[in-house]
């Protein structure tokens, strides 16, 4: 009789052990599978919410005066001097257009403080004004596709810090996304929208320095 009880006890112990083991592996597999599913969903979200940035080498090129070309991957030989080109209403361009695929990172050409971020109804679209630390220069970036995450007015930027991405907002053609880049010499007390325009082209591709 005691032998029968012992056998029954062993069978019950084995069955309980098997059940516990099975529940462990089912739980572990289920957790792993749900984690995998979450990873796939996160990857899908990133892929659909972040536009791909064309690979143009990602290099930051410096002009002869130390001012950086403000579009990553654009080289001095890629630039065209469009400063004096005529625009609507008989006005001059007073800037250069730096052509690049939409989504290419736009970066600070020089150190400074973000002075103004706004959507220009006058044609510039999504724009940013950055004033140099000594207050003498303002760098204007227009037709942006968007701003870099965390970019705010008053933020200090180093040369090469991301401002946004090349786009075609405002009056720029979607067929020709580009950065409208201008530099203004500022007098004491002048506002972000004032100043005297100078040609950025020689500073990025030539050999002249601002005076």
Q: Would you list the domain boundaries of the chain? A: 1-50, 76-205
**pLDDT at residue number 23:** 42
Q: Torsions phi, psi of 9, nearest 5? A: -65, -40
Dist CA 73 CA 200 (whole Å)? 18
- The CATH code for residues 76-205 is 2.70.70.10
The two tokens of residue 196 are 């005297």
pLDDT of residue 84: 85
User: Is the separation of the CB atoms in 119 and 167 below 8 Å?
Assistant: no
Residues 6 or more apart whose CB falls under 8 angstroms from that of 58 comprise: 72, 73, 105
pLDDT at 38: 35
Give dist(CA 59, CA 74) in Å, integer: 8
Residues 6+ apart with CB under 8 A from 130: 108, 110, 112, 113, 114, 115, 138, 139, 141, 157, 163
DSSP bridge partners of 142: 180
| C-alpha span between 70 and 163 (Å, rounded) | 9
The dihedral over CA atoms of 87, 97, 82, 63, expressed in degrees to the nearest 10, equals: 150
pLDDT in tens, the chain (211 residues): 444 444 344 444 444 444 444 443 334 334 333 433 433 333 232 222 233 334 445 889 999 889 999 999 999 999 999 898 866 555 677 999 999 999 999 999 999 999 999 999 889 999 999 999 999 999 999 999 999 999 999 999 999 999 999 999 999 999 999 999 999 999 999 999 999 999 999 999 975 444 4
Can you tell me the distance from the alpha carbon of 193 to that of 117, in angstroms, rounded to the nearest whole number?
Answer: 12
What residue has token string 């599978």? Answer: 33
Alpha-carbon distance of 195 to 116, in angstroms, equals: 14
Question: Which three-class secondary structure state does DSSP give residue 71?
Answer: strand
Nearest to 129 by CA among 190, 202, 86: 190
How high is the pLDDT of residue 24? 38
């Amino acid at each position: 009789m005691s032998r029968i009880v012992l056998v029954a006890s062993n069978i019950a112990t084995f069955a309980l052990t098997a059940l516990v083991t099975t529940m462990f592996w089912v739980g572990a597999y289920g957790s792993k599978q749900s984690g995998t599913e979450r990873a796939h969903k996160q990857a899908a979200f990133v892929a659909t919410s972040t536009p791909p940035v064309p690979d143009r080498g990602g290099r930051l090129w410096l002009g002869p005066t130390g001012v950086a070309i403000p579009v990553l991957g654009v080289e001095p030989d890629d630039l065209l001097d469009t400063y004096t080109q005529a625009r609507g209403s008989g006005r001059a361009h007073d800037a250069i257009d730096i052509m690049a695929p939409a989504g290419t990172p736009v970066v600070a050409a020089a150190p400074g403080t973000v002075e103004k971020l706004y959507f220009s109804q006058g044609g510039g679209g999504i724009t940013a004004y950055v004033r140099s630390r000594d207050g003498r220069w303002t760098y204007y970036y227009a037709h942006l596709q968007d701003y870099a995450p965390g970019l705010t007015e008053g933020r200090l930027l180093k040369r090469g810090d991301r401002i946004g991405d090349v786009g075609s907002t405002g009056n720029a053609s979607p067929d020709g996304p580009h950065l409208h880049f201008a530099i203004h010499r500022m007098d004491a007390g002048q506002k972000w929208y004032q100043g005297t325009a100078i040609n950025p082209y020689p500073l990025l591709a030539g050999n002249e320095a601002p005076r």
